[in-house]
Amino acid sequence: MDILVGFATVLSDPWILVAIALASIVGVVIGATPGLTAAAAIAMLLPVTYHVPPLYALAFLYVIGKSGRFGGSIAAILFNTPGTSASAATQLDGYPLAVQGKAGKALKVATVSSVIGDTIGDLILIFGVAYVAQLALKLGPPEYFAIYAMAFVVIGSVIGKSMLKGLASCLLGILVALIGLDSVSGYARFTFDSFQLMNGIGLVPVMIGIFVLGEVFAQMDSMKSGQDTVLHSTAPQSAEDSQLSWMEYRPCLPVAIRSAFTGGLIGMLPGLGSAVAAFVAYATEFRRARNPEQWGKGALEGIAAPESANNAVSGPSMVPLLTLGVPGSTIGAILMGVFLIHGIEIGPTLFLTSRELIFSLFATGLLGIFCYGLIGYFGSGFVGRLIMRVPPNIIYPMIFLTAFVAAYANRSSLFDVLVMCVFGLVGYVMRKLELSTAAFVIAFVLARGAEESLRQALLLSDSGALVFFERPVALLFFALGLGSVGYRMYGLYRDKRKAAALHKTTGNAGESC
Amino acid sequence: MQLTSFFKSAATLITATCLSLSAATAAQADTFPSRPINLVVPFNAGGGVDAYARALAAGARDLIDVPVVVVNKPGAGGLTGAQSVATARPDGYTLLLTSGGSFLLNTMLNASPVDMFENFQFVSQIGQLSTALMVPANSPYKSANELIAALQENPGKLRWAHSGRGGFHYIAGRAFLESNNLTAQDVPFKGGSPARAALAGAQTDFGFMGIQQARGFGELIHPLALVADERDGIMQDIPTFKELNIPFVNIGSPVVVMAPTKTAADVVAQLNQYLEQITATTTFAELIEKQGTAALYAQPAVIEQKMLDMRTASTPVITQLTGQVQ
């Protein structure tokens, strides 16, 4: 029970507790501020960590990473701008709730789900670390590709009404993702000799462009044609709208728990990251939802799924980081730097040489979850009420402004601001043509990793594409993906038949009358 | 009348401002450095090159009155940050700290807006990154010669991992294969850590990666030979290709600090002197040693010659590579 020893170490040192509390606050604020990323903040704080004991530094950074992932949901819900890329899926249902004047409720759902996801993720880490480490070592490019393929399948559930338009959006996303240096051959693709494009198109400016600017342009357009343009509800808000009752959260609970395991699994695979986890969980839960018509319009489950999944990534992603030295995120890379600076060798022997330190770190993680949970739960009602008092004509420009700041600050690049504007137009045109923006963004997120792992897998294979049949884990993921497609097709078929049967009986009934 | 007096006072004000400004610049020139120095690292925080910058900033604290600020500007394999320094005001307050080998090879492989020798002058070398031939711990090949024998028996059949085709690890690996008339299939990964993980999981037969990457991985990875003339300062039990008498091309990556071409000579000399002092401090040495890489100081002329030599040595491999694609 190393974790108990860890707790004993942490709880007996008031300064670590102070560090955890401070890190929770800093993380939530940074995550909630579009453009201030947790990674940037951690990088700024990195020099400080040279001068304190390793556990203080690691605990501080680890907890910032966790609370920052949660904080990202605040901006996503209130301003439709993801504070972190991990919270991009949260805005799909979070922002509609804010528009309805239920920001407080949405924030509470995000808090509770984040806490559930994060806790489950940490428990997977603490109790499964030995097994996960063994598993992570065996997973190579073929398995990665299988998981990407499974994730691609879930796009089907956000595609909307027209299959053709959905596929077109998806292909467009893939095409944009291919811009930049090809990660396998190292040569430039679709860069038109532009040096800026060599770097590829960043996820953050694309998302802000599509979701925020695109939406604003669409709003302006409908304003011109004299339609209703209310961005935020001006209806007086009842206290109920910022409260969350157990009855309301109950249907979200299984969603949050399942999504936590989805997120945990994705976390074990370095490089996939929180954003992928959030989208996969969102799409998976949407597929099984009993109320699919509410999704995208403010379903509480639509917040619970991505928020639980993106936080559940945090814990398990420490396994490949600590045992294989492969960071799953920028924060992970910086954490690795702290280990190195303090002369702690990351690798398979870490759990033998620094067992106590590692489990103390895990204990601080659990305490950090508790801390930001408190902040989120009791702060969200207040924030929600506050934001509702601000009139729409102030909120509107504020959202616009944060979009620009966020696009610039992510990589301190003016080029990214341009990218955002271009994708604002793209988003607007896509809305006009009724193409699926969600399918576009998910395909964009997945394409690069999928391509890389597919080509690596083929390079590693003696038998071409048959390599996927030689690897049981890869085969399992392919089967899961195909299974879900099959299940969906069967469902559609059954519904059609039912409808047909119903039509028949009502038709007969009509005849007999 | 009133208008004239307004213009008069305005003119006085402007003159005064100009004078005080020029006085300020004069004072600045007299006492370089008088404001914080920005050290641009064209890679993400937390990586190997970044660690050099952080250690430098920490070491500078006791020696220079102004702070040294590390600015991470990742992108395009390090070229984004390099370009931002090349176009910065050449006053010595914006410097580039980068992996010289990767920078050079990257500009040779891709059409690049910056050139190492044209747009920059060398301030000094502060460290050295070396690459090594490694195999998984359970590999049947226990030495570099055994691996070479296997490669000769199965041309093109074995696979090797590296951190990406633009990097110096790949070029070093290619050069090793060419020098020994061997062929093998390379598998590029995105960065050193994923490449190491693939090797640790025996997904590939061998790999070329930073020697410091083997630290702590003794159970999973065995380094066989170092691409260098002399043994590594930290991993001292790994033989070099030179000792083993195996043909190779000495491609490593000096960690260098560079300034825009037009920076004044006395400012560069001053900076060089600071760097010589900082790299000699225990703060710097300890921080660098902890991450498993070496501190190594060299004068501007020495490092420039090293980079020119490396350009000559790697040209055949690069020509072959770029020829392949066309």
Q: What stretches of A35-89 show up as alpha helix (H) in DSSP? A: 38-45, 54-79
Query: Does the domain formed by B131-226 have CATH 1.10.357.10?
Result: no
> Buried b / exposed e across A420-443, counting CB within 10 Å, b at 16+?
bbebbebbbebbeeebbbbbbbbb
Closest-CA distance of chain A to residue B17, Å = 31
Residues 197-236 on A with a CB inside 8 Å of B are: 198-199
CATH classification number, B36-129+253-325, choose in 3.40.470.10, 3.90.180.10, 3.40.190.10, 3.40.190.150 = 3.40.190.150
Q: Alpha-carbon distance B93 to B89, whole Å?
A: 8
Closest-CA distance of chain B to residue A415, Å = 12
Give me the residue from B73, B197, B219 closest to A349, CB to CB: B219
Q: Alpha-carbon distance A267 to A415, whole Å?
A: 31
In this complex, do A183 and B58 lie within 8 Å of one another by their Cβ atoms?
A: no
Q: Alpha-carbon distance A282 to A242, whole Å?
A: 23
**Cβ atoms of residues A168 and A443 within 8 Å:** no
What residue spans define the domains of chain B? 36-129+253-325, 131-226
Chain A contact present for B107, CB below 8 A? no
> What is the rounded end-to-end Cα distance, in angstroms, of chain A?
74
- Compute the C-alpha angle B138/B142/B144, nearest 5°: 125
Which residues share a beta bridge with B95? B39
What residue spans define the domains of chain A? 2-228+270-470
Give me the residue from A140, A183, A412 closest to B203, CB to CB: A140
In this complex, do B111 and A193 lie within 8 Å of one another by their Cβ atoms?
A: yes
Q: Alpha-carbon distance B129 to B49, whole Å?
A: 9
Residue by residue, DSSP assigns A341-396 as HTTPPPSTTHHHHSHHHHHHHHHHHHHHHHHHHHHHHHHHHHHHHHHHHS-HHHHH
**Do the domains B131-226 and B36-129+253-325 match in fold?**
yes
Would you mind telling me the total number of residues written for chain A in this entry?
A: 513
Would you write out chain B's pLDDT as a tens digit for each of its 326 residues?
Answer: 455 555 555 555 555 555 554 444 444 455 788 888 999 998 877 677 888 998 898 888 888 888 888 888 877 778 888 988 998 999 999 999 999 998 998 888 877 788 999 999 999 999 999 999 999 999 999 999 999 999 999 999 999 999 888 788 999 999 999 999 999 999 998 888 888 988 998 999 999 999 988 888 888 999 999 999 889 888 889 999 999 999 998 888 999 999 999 999 999 999 999 999 999 988 888 888 877 787 889 999 999 999 999 899 888 888 887 765 43
Tell me how far CA of residue A464 lies from CA of B51, B159, B199, in angstroms.
40, 14, 20
Residue A158 gets which letter from DSSP? G
Here the ipTM equals 0.76
Query: For residue range A221-241, what is the model confidence (pLDDT) as tens digits?
Result: 776 665 444 444 444 456 667
